Every structure is written in structure tokens, then in C-alpha cells.
Amino acid sequence: MIARGKFVVIGLLLLAALCGGPTRPQQPATVDLGLALTPPMGWDSYNAYGRRATATDLEAQAAALVASGMKAAGYSYVNLDGGWTLRRRDAHGRLQVNRQKFPHGIAPVVDYVHSLGLKFGIYASLGKTNCAGSGAGSWGHYRQDVRTFARWHVDFVKVDWCAVPRKRFPGLTGAQVAQRVFEQFGRALEAAGRPMAYSLSTNHPGLVAWAWASTVGNMWRTNGDIHATYARMRANFIANAGRYAIAGPGRWNDPDMLEVGNGRLTPTESRTNFSLWAEMAAPLIAGNDLTRMSSTTRRILTNRAVIAVNQDRLGQQGRVVARRGGHWILTKPLASGARAIVLFNDTAKPAVISTSARTVGLPSARRYGVDDLWTHLVTSTAGRIVARVAPHAVAMLKLSPMPDAPGSARPSGRQRPPSDLGLAPASR
């Protein structure tokens, strides 16, 4: 596993150099980058169930992931979040499964998820308990617990930062302790003999995960827990957006699971959540009840054009190129040479947001094809991009330089300013 990971790192550094991408960290990675060459996609139990999810719930969600078309759209993980362990270990020091929730243990649920062609993820905590104090943590048992997960054929482990006895690390900052213990858990994963993607639940910005986690895990949190409100979704977007340089194939900033279709998010705000996460190359881990979602929610989560931006093999996180009066413009380079752009209206008033092909980083061309990734309208522009964007909404567009018509001469001097407005979709 390590050898494969290192081989992939060298390949990715080369690819980044060739593509002129952001500088990647030079330290040797111990994490297997090959496990997440594009941002992981799946479903996690926490946002819909808290710590109450049972075997029946997990199996129903896995079946719904298939029946809804989400599996076909690229979602592959079904992740059991916190709440499945008892507070005490057994006489052999093994984690005990809560048998009220999982009467036959975890392994049969994993088998069922695998039988649907999906992968299974599980939750662990680095410290003595989970964050609620209600279940055992893995402190002192990293190798033993990871061997247990490998025996159950787990594919993904989310490791939380809870109840770590900080006094054992005199003189170290919280961030230094976090780095040390997450690395220790990572070494246990390397030794487990089964590839398992490694998700670091560094759920506190004080842990500055972006400064050290890219050689430790496949993804790491950049802020506290998301909630199903516009304000909290927005806060996690902002905390994540500035960290774009560190993300790349195998290692992703994680602004936390999606709240699409949950709580107080309107359909417009759900589309914004999905678009911003896709643009930021964030893991797309749905957090709603898939067995009861509306067709609007299903259509948002299965928008293949938006998913393609997220899963683009170049693996660059979109970055903010303008932010004025609550109007944001983000751009994400794609492997094809196109750019995915998001025009985000973070105000309570409808807005006209404009930018240009040059501002979003495109090379000079006579015209650019413009695909609206939500309305699916296809137009073109000489360079200017204008969109009407409703409050809390986005316009998400793919801009591709169009080849010159055969025989047409390229302008030799400065290009004429474009005379058209590109497009003005009435975004919802």
C-alpha cells in the first residue's frame, strides 16, 4: 500500500509540474493517495441521524443510494458515523458494538453494502471516547481497532479528534498533538493490510490541519461541524475556500458533509451548497435521508455536469478570484483546459454579477463556449460573462475556449472589447 501511495505521489508531483498547478508539499506521504484520486463521494449517517443510526437504517440508505441513481452518478461510500460503540471494551480490549443498533454486528452490514457494489466507511475517535463521551475511543488501541476494521472489510475510516489526553504531550500545541496522533493512527492503517481511505475529522480550525494533513490523510476538515442552515454552510465554505493550494489528487480539504435537502436550507441554498462544494473539489458526502428525499433534492445530488466538475481528474480546488459586496466569483481549472466558474450571490437581494474570461484565468480566444451547469443552456461569449443571480443562489458555468474557424485570421493587436454580454441566465 505504501509503495503504491509513494509511486502515485511522484506521478502527481510530475503532473502538477507539467500542468503548472499549485506547488504540492515535498514531504514523502505515508497516506495512500491512490485511494482518493478524485474527491470521495458517498453518504454519511451523522447529518440525518446524529448518533442514532442502526443496521436497518444503514441498509435502507445503501439501497436508496442505488435506487435513486446516486450510485450511477458516482456516489460509492456508505459511512457509519459515531454512536455504534459501547463505552467499555470487552475483556480482550476489543471495541464492543452496540447490539441494540447492530444486533448481528457490523460485518453483515458491510457485506450487504458491498453486495450492492458500494463501499463501507466507519467512524473512530483518537481519544478515550467519542466527542459525546458515549462510546469508546481508540486511544491505546489504534492497531487493534484498525485490524478489526480490516477484518470487517471496511474501506474508509473517519477519525475524530475527541478526548485526546493532551497532558501526555507537555509543551506541544494542540495542532502539534493532533499531527502526532493522526500520524500514529495513519501508521496503524498502513500496517492493517487493507487499503482504507483516511478521513481526518480535524473539526477545529485551531488544529490548522491544512498546514500538515496533506501527507497524513486523504481528506481533513477545515472547520467545525456544518448544520442545515445557510449561515453555517456559508461559514464552512469561507473557511475552506482559502485553502485551495494544498488540495490535489489523493488529498482534499473537507468543509464537512453536505446539507443538501436538510433542515432550513431552501432548494436554492441546497444548490448553492452542492455547487460550492463541487467547485472546491470537496468530498461530496450527502447527509440527508435518501429514503425520503424530494425529487428536487435528488436532482441536485445527481447533477452530473456539476459532479463532473468536482471529479475532474486535474484535481484542483476552485479558488476565489473576486469578492465584492457579497458577490463572489470562483474559478476551477479543468483537465480539458476549460474553467468551471461559480458566481455566488451571498446577499439578500437579487444581483447581476459579471466577470470576464481573462479574470477567471482563461487564455485569449475569439469566443468561448458557455455551458450553464444548472439550466443546461449552451451559449457563447466573446469574453464577458454576466448572470442574474437570486439571493443566496449561484450561477455555475463551464467556459471553454472555442477553436478558431478554419481560415479565420487571429487579431494581431489588442482584441476588440467584446460587444455581447455572453449570457444572463435567470438563476433561481
- How many residues touch ligand GAL under the rule CB under 6 A: the total is 13
Least distance in angstroms from the C-beta of 332 to ligand GAL: 25
- Can you tell me the distance from the alpha carbon of 179 to that of 216, in angstroms, rounded to the nearest whole number? 8
123 vs 374, which CB is nearer to ligand GAL? 123
Whether 306 contacts 373, CB under 8 Å: yes
Restricting to residues 341-400, name those near ligand GAL by CB under 6 A.
none
Examine residue 254 and tell whether it contacts ligand GAL (CB under 6 A).
Answer: no
Whether 140 contacts 133, CB under 8 Å: no
Residue that has been written with the C-alpha cell 442505488 in this structure: 66
Q: Is 313 exposed, middle or buried (0-12, 13-18, 19+ CB in 10 A)?
A: exposed
Examine residue 217 and tell whether it contacts ligand GAL (CB under 6 A).
Answer: no
Q: Is 359 exposed, middle or buried (0-12, 13-18, 19+ CB in 10 A)?
A: middle
82 vs 261, which CB is nearer to ligand GAL? 82
- Can you tell me the distance from the alpha carbon of 258 to that of 269, in angstroms, rounded to the nearest whole number? 11
Examine residue 183 and tell whether it contacts ligand GAL (CB under 6 A).
Answer: no
208 vs 321, which CB is nearer to ligand GAL? 208
Restricting to residues 152-181, name those near ligand GAL by CB under 6 A.
160, 162
Least distance in angstroms from the C-beta of 53 to ligand GAL: 10
225 an active-site residue?
yes
Q: Name 112's Cβ contacts closer than 8 Å, sequence gap at least 6.
A: 59, 62
Least distance in angstroms from the C-beta of 183 to ligand GAL: 19
Instruction: List b or e across 106-139, with b for residues whose CB sees 16 or more CB atoms inside 10 angstroms.
Output: bbebbebbeeeebbbbbbbbbbebbbeeebbbbb
- Can you tell me the distance from the alpha carbon of 122 to that of 95, in angstroms, rounded to the nearest whole number? 13
Tell me phi and psi for residue 61, to 5 degrees: -70, -40
Examine residue 82 and tell whether it contacts ligand GAL (CB under 6 A).
Answer: yes
C-alpha cell at 325: 459586496
Least distance in angstroms from the C-beta of 178 to ligand GAL: 13
Examine residue 81 and tell whether it contacts ligand GAL (CB under 6 A).
Answer: yes
Among 203, 268, 310, 356, binds ligand GAL (CB under 6 A): 203
Whether 223 contacts 229, CB under 8 Å: no
C-alpha cell at 96: 464492543
Least distance in angstroms from the C-beta of 353 to ligand GAL: 32
- Can you tell me the distance from the alpha carbon of 1 to that of 192, in angstroms, rounded to the nearest whole number? 10
58 vs 162, which CB is nearer to ligand GAL? 162
- Can you tell me the distance from the alpha carbon of 285 to that of 307, in angstroms, rounded to the nearest whole number? 12
82 vs 283, which CB is nearer to ligand GAL? 82
Tell me which stretch binds ligand GAL (CB under 6 A): 61-69, 125-133, 238-246, 370-378.
Answer: 125-133
Residue that has been written with the C-alpha cell 450553464 in this structure: 372
- Can you tell me the distance from the alpha carbon of 398 to that of 391, in angstroms, rounded to the nearest whole number? 21
Examine residue 138 and tell whether it contacts ligand GAL (CB under 6 A).
Answer: no
225 vs 371, which CB is nearer to ligand GAL? 225
Tell me which stretch binds ligand GAL (CB under 6 A): 110-118, 127-135, 275-283, 360-368.
Answer: 127-135
Q: Name 256's Cβ contacts closer than 8 Å, sequence gap at least 6.
A: 203, 221, 223, 225, 226, 236
Among 14, 17, 132, 426, binds ligand GAL (CB under 6 A): 132
201 vs 275, which CB is nearer to ligand GAL? 201
Question: CB atoms < 10 A from the CB of 64, how many?
Answer: 19
Examine residue 45 and tell whether it contacts ligand GAL (CB under 6 A).
Answer: no
Helices (H), 97-161: 107-115, 142-151
Among 24, 51, 119, 339, binds ligand GAL (CB under 6 A): 51
Least distance in angstroms from the C-beta of 169 to ligand GAL: 20
Least distance in angstroms from the C-beta of 49 to ligand GAL: 10
Residue nearest to ligand GAL (CB): 82
Catalytic residue (one of 32, 145, 160, 254): 160
Examine residue 46 and tell whether it contacts ligand GAL (CB under 6 A).
Answer: yes
Direct distance between the N- and C-terminal alpha carbons of the chain, in angstroms, rounded to an integer: 46
**Mind spelling out the 3-state secondary structure of 205-225?**
HHHCHHHCHHHCCCEEECCCC
Tell me which stretch binds ligand GAL (CB under 6 A): 87-95, 128-136, 137-145, 258-266.
Answer: 128-136
Cross-strand bridge partners of residue 418: none
Least distance in angstroms from the C-beta of 83 to ligand GAL: 6
73 vs 228, which CB is nearer to ligand GAL? 228
Q: Report the interface residues with ligand GAL, using CB under 6 A.
A: 46, 51, 81-82, 123, 130-132, 160, 162, 201, 203, 225
Active site residues: 160, 225
